[in-house]
Structure 1
Amino acid sequence: MYPIDFFWRAAARWPGNIAIDAPEGAIRYDALAAQVAALATALNALDNTLQSRVGICAKNSAEHIVALLAVLACGKVWVPLNPKSTRPEIRRIIDATEPSILVLDTACAGLLEGAAGARIHCGSPPPGQSSVAALIAQHAGASRPAFALPQDATQAIKFTGGTTGLPKGVMQPYRAWMTNVSNQIHAWGFDEHERYIVAAPITHGTSTYLLPILAQGGCHVVLAEAGAEAVRTAFRERGGTVCFMPPTLVYMLMALPGAARADFPCLRRLIYGGAPMPPEKIREVRAFFGPVLGTTYGQTEAPQSLTVMRPEDFEDERNWAAVGLPTWFSDVAIMAPDGRLLPPGEVGEVVARGDLVMSGYWRLPEKTAETLVDGWLHTGDRGLIDERGYLYLKDRLKDMVITGGFNVYPVDVENALGQHPAVHECTVFGVPDEKWGEAVQAAVQLRPGQHATEGELIAFVRERLGPVQTPKRVHFHASLPRSAVGKVLKTAVRERAIAPDAPSVPSAPPPANESTANPS
């Protein structure tokens, strides 16, 4: 069995269910299955080599979903290309993976200029080039392609974000995708009544929810526009029941003018990921949305669901700083630098093994050997596991600040700073210091209309954590710099902080309807 088989089975069981609800119209399961089979046949006609790569560079759309499913259906390897990325970065990924076929929005053509590979356009193509719709029509009535590959064969090559070093192509095998589908369905209880709001990019975390929802006969609701207002409208008017999004977008939904729980009448699962949510934010979100909040911990090397925190886990406030319990088919442990597995309560590197773990980095055997050691994936995260089995993250190994001989975990300081009523969001980091080796500093984004001084915030943290963990400086940002998927770019914040004459002037965050999270 392969990941695509979850979809084929659902199409046979729920042929009349709506699989995709897009602005241009609804697509039933039986129609979607026919489209996927036709496009998969077309991809094989263009290149019949098993495991050849197909790059997809497109915004969220029904055709994007069809193209991705078609890649899975014909034994090829999906290479997601973020349309919000830069041309050099896109070209670097293409040069590394050598896709023979490129699926793209016409608006993304400039990003792919000069790259080899047959082009298939979502929407209307330029003269002389093909489109998804035309290929589906050309191969209408085609049977599903058949192929045979081992479970360790590669299903996708997804590149790491690159905020902590040179991005690497992670080879996600079939077994990892099968495991993720099982974990998501088990954790969230998806069923045929699900309506998943496609708010975050398909090229990133949203992709891990496509098959779990489809496997259970649910529907993906595609938005016509990006941004918090569009997401709220989809929940209010199109019956959204579940969504995955970065914390930033959650906060933006709550800050929209007139926002109320009534805007989300059918919501039963609000899953955040990609960045931590401090305990005080968890309190605010639960007060607004009710007991629907959940989260997962994973990384590109172990996609999405090494651990899960379900809404019922959030009922216990002891768990608010945790990222959940290990999921099926995965072992999660804490390891000392000498390779010893540590007992509950001790801090070390988070390691994992099992079916969810990648097979390696694309054409980087040395990096693979550094990261996969004796079957354990070294995540680069520091954390601890308590006596109940819950995982608590401290920070990236390289993000830990050693100041005056003491270890300071930025997440602890961020959690304290985030309790201040004027702080909308914050990040904490270390900078070189002649006296202390490293000095703890922070960058904050204030709530609209709120004011706080540097001295006030420093005193606030000192009262809660003591002098060692208290920031020596606080830098104020109108809007913290973020990646294309909403993560705060700690490296960029740190570089700005250590620049000569770095400003430290309080200023308000952007308006609540400004989409800093790039949800699609």
Structure 2
Amino acid sequence: MTGDAAAKGSADAGSAADAAGRERASFLPDLLIAALERGRDLPAVHLDGRVLTGAEVRDETSRYAQAYAKLGLGIGSPTAMISANRPEVLFTMGANMLTGCRSSALHPLGSVDDHAYILADAEIETLVFDPAFARRATELARRVPSLVNLLSLGPAEVGTDLTALAAGFAPRPLVAPRVGPEDVSGITYTGGTTGRPKGVMSTYRGAATMTQIQLAEWEWPAETRFLVCTPLSHAGAAFFVPVLLRGGSLVVLPRFDPAAVLDAIEKYRITATMLVPTMLYHLLDHPKLAAADTSSLQTVFYGASAMSPTRLAEAIERFGPVFFQFYGQSECPMTISVLRRGEHDVNRPDRLASCGRPVPWVRVALLDDDGAEVADGEPGEVCVRGPLLSAGYWRRPDQTAELFEHGWLHTGDIARRDADGFLTIVDRKKDMVVTGGFNIFPKEVEDVLCSHPAIAAAAVIGVPDDTWGEAVKAVVTLRPGAEVSAAELTALVRERKGPHHAPKSVDVVDQLPMSPVGKPDKKALRARYWSDGERRVH
């Protein structure tokens, strides 16, 4: 399926369903309308010193949607947004949904080069921006030929003030756009940690399925006060509709800061939040944690990258049995499998290393390179079928065909399945190190390294080696005040995993390179050790 074909509107599909006497399916815009109406008299969002009810968010969203229409934006209009967390982000996101725009998000921590690449690749015409990013918006407009509309979330020296324009409209009832299940609702760009970022085409069907899975499979507190400390334009947005549909509210911080997170948990009696592993490590290592009251927490959702079993056990000891893991990726968002709170057994490191069991909304198989299922205990690529899947990669038909080879979506993750059906990701297929003819999965080495009490985080890569082809290199950060020798860490891995897994070298650094979404950036890490700039390792 090409990007052009997938992005075409399908209003005819909705008309055909109506003609046959069937109401079309509910998609994310419908769920947003229901959520705001259901919670119209309840606090919905605590953000930037304001408390907004569902009705207030609903009315502001209506105004922004009308402003979009006034500017000529509608179904399929390619838009993007860059902003810190502020109320207008929610209103703009709602306007995107209700007008049927095809949206993309720019991470606030991304570089101008990254943003220009995304805007040009996705052929974005309209950029919504926080006034703090006015200079960035000006530069992007200069560099990206397709970008013709600049809309600011408040007064700025460039573009149209979207907030002022929206204020001129009276609220109207919210109406969902006439779209079909396979229409593209947004393009999300991969992290680019293994190559040039690719645009993943999200469909209305996939986004609705993701929300259904969240509501049906995730373990939510009875009274949900959800803390958002990630960008609303990215991970934070995925919790907006589910929380409101459950009658809960969101407390939104401007950014992740360990001390601010601990203060917010105590102040608002937060019952749930979502953290990527790096964030949890920062909380565990923060001096304020010892005196912080986190007793209100009932569920901490975590995902996005692999968690160290040792650090997870430490977190369970400190916060209690509140952790719930979700495993997914942009191509199959959020929930391929889950590890429930009661399945986190601190006496079983192998279980803490697991990403749980597949949810019943998708089919999951572990396949070899020929598309055949592997036996339990053997490594195979996690492959998925079902309504959760994306439509492929924007304007990359060859890579889309590769993504769906053998009729399955290929995640690129290698896992083993145990007799109880639990999956354990051993690593990314492309991150595997081949040393002396042996296949080494870096995550297995990283888990051993992180079991040492001195290690805060670890990343393992392959580096060119004249003798071994590739040599295993470990790059680690230390916990505050800790010390450890390279020889001690190498000996630990050799004892636990064998000589082929033992790093040939260990570097201690102050900080691992991270992608904007908090994943270790192994592409950047490898670049430090390639003197000729040519990739000669897997």
Shift of 1:68: 0.8
* Residue 228 of structure 1 pairs with residue 258 of structure 2: yes
Is the contact between residue 35 and residue 244 of structure 2 (CA under 8 Å) also seen in structure 1?
Answer: yes
AA matched with 2:112: R
The answer to whether the 8 Å contact 1:40/1:70 transfers is yes
Partner of 1:347: 379
How far did residue 240 of structure 1 move?
A: 1.6
Residue equivalent to 1:511 = none
What is the aligned partner in structure 1 of residue 488 from structure 2?
Answer: 456
Retained in 2: the 8 A contact 1:11–1:29?
Answer: yes
1:487 to 489, 497, 519: 519
Please give the per-residue CA displacement for 1:373-406, whole angstroms capped at 9, x wherever unaligned: 2431111111122222211111111111111111
CA contact (8 A) 1:191 1:213 kept: no
Partner of 1:163: 193
From 336, 340, 344, the equivalent of 2:368 is: 336
Secondary structure at the residue paired with 1:263?
coil
Give the structure-1-normalised TM-score. 0.92
| Counterpart for residue 358 of structure 1 | 390
Which of residues 218, 233, 240 in structure 1 aligns to 2:270?
240
Which amino acid counterpart does residue 34 of structure 1 have in structure 2?
Answer: D
Name the residue aligned to 2:76: 51
Q: Which moved more, 1:110-119 or 1:415-424?
A: 110-119
Match of 1:446 in 2: 478
2:297 maps to: 267
**Superposed displacement of residue 493, structure 1:** 2.1
Asked whether the 8 Å contact 1:402–1:408 carries over to 2, the reply is yes
The answer for the alignment partner of 1:34 in structure 2 is 59
Which consecutive aligned stretches of 4+ in structure 1 deviate over 4 angstroms post-superposition?
A: none
Say yes or no: does 1:288 pair with 2:313. no
Question: What's the CA shift string for 1:183-204, capped at 9, x where partnerless?
Answer: 1122334367312111112233
1:108 aligns with 2:113: no
Over 3 Å counting, the alpha-carbon distance change for 1:59 and 1:192 in structure 2 is farther
Paired residues, number:
499
Secondary structure of 2:328's counterpart equals strand
Any idea what the Cα deviations from partners look like across 1:391-449, whole Å, max 9, x if unmatched? 11111111111111111111111111111111111011111222222111101101111
Gaps of 5+ in 2: 1-25, 533-538
How far apart, in 1, do the equivalents of 2:247 and 2:222 lie? 4
Structure 2 CA distance for aligned equivalents of residues 66 and 368 of structure 1: 33
**1:247-270 alpha-carbon deviations (Å, 9 max, x no partner):** 111111122223137522321111
Q: Please state whether the residue corresponding to 1:361 is helix, strand or coil.
A: coil
SS of 2:395's equivalent in the other structure is: coil
- Of 144, 160, 163, the match for 2:174: 144
Q: Does 1:180 align with 2:210?
A: yes
2:113 aligned with 1:88: yes
After TM superposition, give the deviation of residue 110 of structure 1 in Å.
2.5
Q: 1:288 to 1:146 in 2, by over 3 A?
A: closer
Q: Mark the CA change 1:242 to 1:117 in structure 2 (over 3 Å): closer, same or farther.
A: farther
Deviation at 1:128, TM superposition (A): 6.6
Looking at structure 2, the residues matched to 237 and 23 of structure 1 have their Cα atoms a distance apart, in angstroms, of 15
Distance 1:283 1:410 in 2: 20
Which residue of structure 2 lines up, in the alignment, with residue 393 of structure 1? 425
Q: In structure 1, give the amino acid aligned to 2:459.
A: T
Distance 1:274 1:13 in 2: 30
The alignment's C-alpha RMSD in Å is: 1.9
C-alpha contact (below 8 Å) 1:333/1:385 kept by paired residues: no
Query: Is the deviation greater in 352-361 or in 342-351?
Result: 342-351
Return the alpha-carbon distance in structure 2 between the equivalents of residues 248 and 123 of structure 1: 33
Distance verdict in 2 for CA 1:46–1:192, change over 3 Å: farther
Is residue 2:165 matched to residue 1:135? yes
Q: Secondary structure at the match of 1:297?
A: strand
Query: What percent of counterpart residues are identical?
Result: 35
What's the secondary structure of 1:251's corresponding residue? helix
What's the CA shift string for 1:263-321, capped at 9, x where partnerless?
22321111222221121111101001100111111111111111111211113724211
Q: Provide the C-alpha distance between the structure 2 equivalents of 1:233 and 1:117, rounded to a whole number of angstroms.
A: 42
Q: What is the aligned partner in structure 1 of residue 94 from structure 2? A: 69
CA 1:414 to 1:82, structure 2 compared with 1: closer, same or farther past 3 Å? same
What corresponds to 1:9 in structure 2?
34
Offset, 1:112: 2.4
SS of the aligned residue for 1:44 comes to helix
Q: Residues of 1 paired with 2:527 and 2:176: CA distance?
A: 51
1: CA distance, partners of 2:221 / 2:308: 30
Q: Tell me the secondary structure at the aligned position of residue 68 of structure 2.
A: helix
State the Cα distance separating 1:498 from its structure 2 match.
Answer: 4.5
1:504 counterpart residue number? none
Q: Corresponding residue for 1:117?
A: 148
**Which amino acid is the alignment partner of residue 350 of structure 1?**
V
Partner SS, residue 428 of structure 1: strand
Measured at CA, do residues 336 and 81 of structure 1 come closer, stay the same or move farther in structure 2, by a change above 3 Å?
same
Give the partner amino acid of 1:124: P
What's the CA shift for 1:17? 0.9
User: 1:490 offset after TM fit, Å?
Assistant: 1.5
Q: CA deviation at 1:63?
A: 1.2
SS in 2 for 1:10: helix
Matching of residues 495-514 of structure 1 within 5 Å = 495-499=527-531
Q: Secondary structure at the match of 2:80?
A: strand
Choose 308-317 or 477-486, whichever is displaced more. Answer: 308-317
Q: Partners in 1 of 2:290 and 2:91 — Cα distance?
A: 34
Question: Is the 8 Å Cα contact of residues 38 and 245 (structure 2) preserved in structure 1?
Answer: no
Superposition TM-score, scaled by structure 2 size: 0.89
State the AA in 2 paired with 1:17.
L
Where do 5+ consecutive residues of structure 1 fail to align?
Answer: 501-520
Relative to structure 1, the CA distance from residue 226 to residue 315 in structure 2 (aligned partners, 3 Å threshold; closer, same or farther) is: closer
